[in-house]
């Protein structure tokens, strides 16, 4: 009996790992893989974004939600877009655990989200996808909107503010 339970547990574990790695690869092809941002850099991202309670902020590829939950302390409405179902449900679980009302997590392909509804955008993208994203941002976001990129630069777009690998751009 115990052997059957152990085998079933391993099958479920392998299935979850397979799903996680499939979506990690898919995210890498579409935008960027899940790479957890250090707490130090999350704080820099929030600080450079200059969030306030009237802002609606979006974290594209929100992963485990660490940026969202710290940003929520500013009073801003925080929306995470995540395609990986394991990371999505993990973030939903953290939302219940932390009892945060101003955080929303959406499981969707980030290329299908209308960015016009956001005042602030945070992101970690790989270099080859930055130009495509820049075109989407400039086409959809309102003038004056703030974009915070961690690690990678937008081509031909000068940051307004920079702190090590964290850059603020204004649309």
Residue 49 · residue 148 · CB < 8 Å: yes
Segment 85-99, tens digit of pLDDT: 989 999 999 999 999
Question: Which is more confidently placed, 3 or 47?
Answer: 47
Alpha-helix runs per DSSP H in the chain: 2-30, 39-49, 66-71, 85-98, 127-140
Burial per residue of 15-26, b for 16 or more beta-carbon CB atoms within 10 angstroms, e otherwise: eeeeeeeebbee
Each domain of the chain, given as residue ranges in start order, spans 2-170
pTM: 0.82
pLDDT, tens only, 20-43: 666 666 655 566 667 788 899 999
* Whether domain 2-170 has CATH 3.40.50.150: yes
DSSP 168: E
């Amino acid at each position: 009996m115990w052997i059957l339970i152990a085998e079933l547990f391993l099958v479920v574990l392998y299935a979850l790992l397979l799903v996680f790695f499939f979506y990690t690869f898919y995210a890498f092809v579409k935008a960027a893989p899940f790479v957890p941002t250090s707490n130090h850099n999350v704080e820099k991202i929030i600080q450079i974004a200059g969030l306030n309670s009237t802002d609606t902020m979006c974290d594209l590829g929100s992963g485990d939600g660490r940026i969202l939950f710290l940003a929520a302390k500013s009073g801003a409405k925080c929306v995470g877009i995540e395609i990986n179902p394991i990371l999505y449900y993990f973030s939903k679980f953290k939302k219940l655990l932390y009892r945060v009302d101003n955080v929303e997590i959406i499981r969707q392909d980030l290329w299908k989200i209308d960015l016009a509804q956001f005042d602030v955008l945070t992101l970690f993208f790989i270099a080859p996808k930055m130009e495509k994203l820049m075109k989407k941002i400039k086409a959809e976001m309102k003038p004056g909107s703030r974009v915070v990129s961690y690690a990678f630069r937008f081509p031909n777009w000068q940051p307004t503010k920079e702190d090590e690998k964290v850059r603020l751009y204004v649309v």
